[in-house]
Structure 1
Amino acid sequence: MRVGVVTFPGSLDDRDAQRAVRAAGAEPVALWHGDADLHGVDAVVLPGGFSYGDYLRCGAIARFAPVMDRLVPAAQGGLPVLGICNGFQVLCESHLLPGALIRNDHRKFVCRDQRLRIENASTAWTGDYAAGQEIVVPLKNGEGGYVADERTLDALEAEGRVVARYLGDNPNGSYRDIAGVSNERGNVVGLMPHPEHAVEPGFGPTTDGLAFFTSVLHQVVSA
């Protein structure tokens, strides 16, 4: 299985995402923001960082990268896509996911190990978890507050599209403690914390993040 990891100018977690893909047993494929195609990958990760320097808004310019011209329709057609941190912002700007990510309510950058609860274990990226499972992965963001109107939030809750929720103190003011959401089909997931930094013993607080990457492998193999 081949998983593409997109590098935008300003990406800084792309190599970590590639390592996580490899640790899960898949082949990472480096995709460049200017690529005109997806090179036949089976899934795609949009990594964390500061694409295009976060000018205008986080993810606002990356949304118009040539690779996104191929990725958006592919995701709409069922290609598994995971957006982590800045990648989550790009997915919202691309309207593949609802809502938006805004500046943390305390106006400070946060970097810490974060407790999460997996709310939906039926997406392409969470199938190896159990619903209600608690995990710990790193979190690092300055604009990680997830917001949406009440109607959208109610729909996400009712449809089971809240993928993960913060436990303990809310780190950034995200509405309803939401840490990640999915599209209706469950193939597109956006997550503000960083599972790719928790996949190997000794290189993170836990190995709890690895199941995001093994999940998609199992999903594609069994499809």
Structure 2
Amino acid sequence: MKSAVLVFPGSNREVDVAQAIELVTGRKPQMVWHGDGNFEKTDLIVVPGGFSYGDYLRCGAMAAQSPVMAEVKRRAAQGVPVLAICNGFQIVTEAGLLPGTLMRNAHLKFVCRDVHLKVETSQSLFTNRYHAGQVIRVPVAHAEGNYFASENTLNRLEDRGQVAFRYCAPDGTVDPDGNPNGSIRNIAGVFNETKTVMGLMPHPENAVEPMFGGCDGRALFEGMVDALS
């Protein structure tokens, strides 16, 4: 599986996700600078976390206008899978690749801790190593992770199975107590209509080895290898 990881000014998780990809594929991903609108063909594009452009103006808004994102949008339209994590999720929503928006956390504080996620579907190239209803534990680290969309958009996401993960309690209960940022309907990650683009706020790349405190994120990367190799 050939992969590419984008790098923006202010990115800080590109190395983390590159290491996770290398761990499960045995192959280093291509690191693509934000100004490069013409990079090698690849099976997967990853938009990593961080603080692109210092989160000035609005999180992800400036990065969404980068030359590389025009090419990402073109390839995504052709069916090339895109995984967008944390700030990457913000970027792809700003770019129109996913519905909704990420707002300031409801409690107006940066949150950095492990959270529990309920897997909503196994029917995607990103989640095929999980089963629907499974609870996993991965870290979050963000100040603007509060997912919001209109009621009509939310209902469409629900009807079409486009919700990937929800914040939950350790036993899988979906309630406000398990929601770290106020996201509407506890949504932690969503797909596009074809499920070839997925964005999520938590960091599965930081839950791939025991020394990180858990391996629940590793199946996401292994599932992509299964689907794309």
TM-score range, shorter chain: over 0.9
Residue 198 of structure 1 corresponds to which residue in structure 2? 207
SS state at 1:202 partner: helix
Residue 20 of structure 1 corresponds to which residue in structure 2? 20
**What amino acid does structure 1 have at the position aligned with 2:82?**
V
- Check if 1:219 corresponds to 2:198: no
| Contact 1:118–1:129 under 8 Å retained in 2 | yes
| Contact 1:3–1:26 under 8 Å retained in 2 | no
SS state at 1:24 partner: helix
Distance 1:78 1:117 in 2: 26
SS state at 2:93 partner: helix
TM-score using structure 1 length = 0.96
Q: Deviations 1:7-62 (Å, cap 9, x if unpaired)?
A: 10000000000001011115211111111223111101110000011111100000
Deviation, 1:217, is 1.4
Distance 1:192 1:26 in 2: 26
Deviation, 1:163, is 0.1
Q: Deviations 1:160-207 (Å, cap 9, x if unpaired)?
A: 10000000321000000000000010010000000000001112x310
Unaligned runs of 5+ in 2: 170-176
Residue 2 of structure 1 corresponds to which residue in structure 2? 2
Q: Deviations 1:98-140 (Å, cap 9, x if unpaired)?
A: 0000000000000111100110211221111111111000011
| Contact 1:2–1:26 under 8 Å retained in 2 | no
> Residue 186 of structure 2: which of 168, 177, 180 is its match?
177
**What amino acid does structure 1 have at the position aligned with 2:103?**
I
Residue 106 of structure 1 corresponds to which residue in structure 2? 107
Residue 129 of structure 2 corresponds to which residue in structure 1? 128
Unaligned runs of 5+ in 1: none
Residue 151 of structure 1 corresponds to which residue in structure 2? 152
**What amino acid does structure 1 have at the position aligned with 2:210?**
P
TM-score using structure 2 length = 0.94
Q: 1:46 to 1:26 in 2, by over 3 A?
A: farther
Distance 1:23 1:100 in 2: 31
Residue 208 of structure 1 corresponds to which residue in structure 2? 216
Q: Deviations 1:58-101 (Å, cap 9, x if unpaired)?
A: 00000011111110011121111010000000110011000000
The CA RMSD measured in Å over matched residues stands at 0.9
Distance 2:187 2:120 in 1: 10
| Contact 1:110–1:139 under 8 Å retained in 2 | yes
Deviation, 1:211, is 1.4
SS state at 1:136 partner: strand
Distance 1:90 1:5 in 2: 14
Over 3 Å off, 4+ runs: none
Q: 1:81 to 1:26 in 2, by over 3 A?
A: farther
The count of residues paired between Structure 1 and Structure 2 equals 220
